């Protein structure tokens, strides 16, 4: 766009003063390479004048009319001495965004957005380095502001935003602002949804951003800045949530298999691979298992033992899984420690060691008192072995009493299981001894009864319903 169009819009909204016949915004006609241009006296005067009005506007919390008084001298400085101060672009962007927000005319608003983008471009052109020592390049940072603003103000321009923020992150890497990461990943997923990029690129970008984000989390955690650490953890959670619908196992494996093949003993990479594949339940195929085994060899821990044990379970290699899961029960993470005991319970159940399976299930129940799964598992074992634990019509049915007790306990500690447990209770109530059989054995409903066999548990006598 030509400067003529941009200035027409700015002047119309700010002060109704029109400019005309000017060259492109990135090549001001009157820029002679000097800080204060060819008319240094007028430049200093107008710079001081607009800044004074701008400060008044800022002090009013951007509410009074001083913005209108600031406009004309700002325009003069913007056009005649673009190198005078970086504040020209900082303040100009602030005023433009204010006007965009308060403009009701769609056409004018679109013109203002174009002008805002050009202000960012001119800032990059005239102030490529920060004025603060050590005067680092700031193109990446400015592109970050530009991309985020463009996405917020003109969401339909997402292909342009994608390219802008991609370059910003490429330049600034872990030094990027947190908002840049959030919007870059958001626009990346949108590009994939609109079939403008391969969905697999989402995985690559996610992997890249997570590396930078983790650097920031570690830095602020080490420095003790809990507020900033929490901010970056929130950014991580935001991107994780955005990533969730797009993380397909075949894409994840394709991307991480290449990285694994290149550096199979990179501990940080192995942790990343195992964590994301485990989270997405991508356990099929050799990558998850190989990465877990390598990680455990290089840095043995209950966490890596847990991953290996889990994989061996999936492969139904139960005997091999036992020592790994036993090691995993020492994990600090309570939720995973609870899972480890439950996995052990299932392993021992699969191998026919019901007593050991029950012991592991009870350990899991101690860790998480609101988890009904351990009691469901025990109830299932009681029901499955009921007939084998009896020698006659009565004793082959009494274990169902104990099974129903466990289902009742499961729904009591975890109300979300109520519906499924009620169905099981109804099913196994029909397997209780009939009233005549209780009478024949001189048993009375409501009395206590000790179920024998490996169960060896006290329950109450009930008739079939």
Contact indicator for 286, 255 with CB cutoff of 8 Å: no
Model confidence, pTM: 0.63
Residue 227 burial (10 A CB sphere; 0-12, 13-18, 19+): exposed
**For the chain, which residues make up each domain, given as ranges?**
1-126, 369-465
Beta bridge partners of 451: 457
> Contacts for 242-246 with beta carbons within 8 Å, 24 or more apart?
242/185, 242/186, 242/189, 243/185, 243/189, 243/202, 243/206, 246/189, 246/192, 246/199, 246/202, 246/203
Tens digit of pLDDT at every position of the chain (465 positions): 444 444 444 444 443 332 322 333 444 556 778 899 999 999 999 999 999 999 999 999 999 999 999 999 999 999 999 999 999 999 999 999 999 999 989 999 999 999 999 999 999 999 999 988 888 999 999 999 999 999 999 999 999 999 999 999 999 999 999 999 999 999 999 999 999 998 889 988 998 999 899 999 999 999 999 999 999 999 999 998 999 888 889 888 988 898 899 999 999 889 889 888 888 888 888 999 999 999 999 999 998 899 899 888 888 888 899 999 999 999 988 888 999 999 999 999 998 999 999 999 999 999 999 999 999 999 999 999 999 999 999 999 999 999 999 999 999 999 999 999 999 999 999 999 999 999 999 999 999 999 999 999 999 999 998
Q: Which residues contact 48 (CB under 8 A, 6 or more apart)?
A: none
Cβ neighbours of 330 (radius 10 Å): 13
């Amino acid at each position: 766009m030509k400067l003529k169009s941009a200035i027409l819009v700015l002047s119309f909204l700010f002060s109704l003063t029109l400019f005309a016949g000017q060259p492109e915004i990135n090549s001001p006609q009157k820029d002679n390479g000097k800080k204060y241009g060819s008319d240094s006296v007028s430049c200093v005067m107008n710079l001081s004048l607009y800044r004074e009005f701008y400060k008044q506007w800022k002090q009013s919390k951007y509410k009074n009319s001083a913005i209108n008084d600031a406009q004309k001298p700002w325009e003069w400085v913007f056009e005649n001495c673009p190198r005078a101060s970086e504040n020209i672009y900082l303040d100009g962007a602030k005023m433009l965004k204010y006007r965009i927000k308060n403009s009701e005319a769609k056409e004018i608003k679109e013109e203002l957005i174009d002008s805002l983008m050009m202000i960012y471009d001119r800032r990059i052109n005239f102030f490529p380095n920060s004025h603060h020592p050590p005067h680092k390049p700031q193109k990446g940072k400015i592109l970050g502001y530009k991309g985020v603003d463009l996405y917020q103000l003109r969401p339909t321009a997402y292909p342009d935003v994608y390219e802008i923020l991609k370059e910003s992150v490429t330049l600034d890497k872990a030094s990027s602002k947190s908002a840049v990461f959030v919007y870059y990943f958001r626009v990346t997923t949108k590009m994939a949804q609109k079939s403008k990029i391969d969905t697999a690129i989402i995985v690559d970008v996610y992997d890249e951003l997570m590396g930078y984000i983790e650097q920031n989390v570690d830095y602020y955690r080490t420095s003790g800045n809990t507020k900033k650490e929490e901010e970056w953890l929130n950014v991580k959670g935001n991107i994780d949530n955005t990533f969730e619908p797009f993380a397909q196992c075949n894409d994840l494996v394709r991307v991480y298999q290449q990285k694994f093949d290149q550096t199979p003993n990179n501990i940080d990479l192995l942790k990343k691979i195992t964590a994301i594949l485990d989270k997405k339940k991508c356990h099929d195929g050799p990558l998850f298992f190989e990465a877990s085994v390598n990680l455990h060899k290089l840095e043995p821990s209950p966490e890596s033992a847990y991953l290996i044990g889990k994989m061996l379970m999936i492969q139904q290699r139960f005997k091999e899984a036992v020592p790994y899961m036993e090691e995993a029960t020492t994990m600090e993470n309570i939720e995973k420690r609870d899972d480890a005991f439950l996995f052990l319970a299932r392993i021992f159940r699969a191998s026919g060691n019901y007593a050991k399976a029950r012991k592991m299930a009870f350990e899991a129940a101690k860790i998480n008192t609101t988890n009904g799964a351990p009691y469901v598992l025990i109830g299932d074992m009681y029901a499955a072995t009921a007939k084998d634990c009896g020698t006659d019509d009565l004793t082959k049915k009494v274990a169902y009493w104990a099974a129903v007790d466990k289902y009742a306990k499961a729904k009591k500690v975890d109300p979300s299981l109520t519906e499924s447990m009620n169905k099981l209770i109804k099913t196994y109530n029909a397997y209780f001894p009939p009233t005549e059989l209780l009478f024949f054995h001189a048993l009375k409903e409501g009395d206590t009864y000790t179920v024998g066999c490996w169960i060896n548990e006290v329950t109450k006598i009930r008739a079939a319903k």
